């Protein structure tokens, strides 16, 4: 891992555990166990740091999706449903901090055009990947968009406690099968 990646991972930690107010260059230096000013050497402004976080999240998400894709093997509807349920569970348990950091970025992107562009670009790349994967079981791009939007909502509900502990598989299966009909 490079020092830049270490800085960005610490920034994700700060953002995901403390929200957007907790993300400061000094806090990132402290979390990354680096000398004061190290984060600023890579990212001079808060907006630059947030854009870096968005890019790092995209890198890590893509790597996770590739692992999930390999684990699913030959795409069947049941493999897709299992994979999506695993994704929702993983995003709200093991990967909770990263998911919360991503949600904090969405809020910050409303006032920072460069960040909004970076967040949008990353979302579009992941959406394109999902469309490609779902097409193998017969879902159209429009239907996959509906499914991705549902998954986003399911993640938020689980993070806020509304659906905490509930297995997401049944709802994902019902929606996916309905979209295929």
What is the rounded radius of gyration, in angstroms, for the C-alpha atoms of the chain? Answer: 17
pTM equals 0.89
**pLDDT tens digits for range 44-77:** 999 999 999 999 998 998 888 778 777 766 678 9
Please say whether the beta carbons of 100 and 159 come within 8 A: yes
Main-chain dihedrals φ then ψ at residue 138, nearest 5 degrees: 105, 5
Quick: pLDDT tens for 138-153. Answer: 999 999 999 999 999 9
Phi, psi dihedrals of residue 11, rounded to the nearest 5°: -65, -40
- The residue ranges of every structural domain in the chain are 54-180
Specify the residue for token string 């019902």: 174
CA distances from 122 to 11, 91, 155, 160 (A): 18, 16, 17, 24
Q: With CA atoms as reference, report the closest residue to 3 among 42, 31, 37.
A: 42
Q: What's the pLDDT at 73?
A: 65
Determine what percent of the chain is predicted with pLDDT higher than 90.
73
Mean pLDDT of the chain: 92
């Amino acid at each position: 891992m490079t020092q830049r990646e270490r800085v960005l991972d610490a920034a994700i930690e700060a953002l995901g555990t403390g929200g957007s107010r907790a993300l400061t260059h000094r806090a990132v230096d402290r979390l990354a166990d680096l000398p004061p000013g190290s984060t600023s050497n890579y990212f001079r402004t808060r907006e630059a740091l947030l854009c870096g976080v968005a890019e790092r999240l995209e890198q890590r998400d893509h790597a996770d999706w590739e692992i999930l894709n390999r684990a699913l093997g030959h795409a069947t509807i049941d493999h897709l449903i299992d994979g999506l349920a695993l994704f929702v569970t993983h995003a709200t348990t093991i990967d909770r901090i990263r998911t919360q950091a991503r949600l904090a970025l969405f809020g910050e992107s409303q006032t920072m055009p460069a960040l909004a562009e970076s967040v949008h670009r990353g979302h579009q790349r992941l959406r394109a990947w999902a469309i490609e994967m779902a097409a193998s079981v017969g879902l159209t791009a429009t239907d996959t968009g509906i499914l991705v939007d549902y998954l986003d909502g399911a993640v938020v509900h689980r993070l806020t406690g509304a659906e905490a502990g509930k297995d997401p598989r049944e709802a994902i299966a019902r929606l996916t099968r309905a979209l295929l009909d």
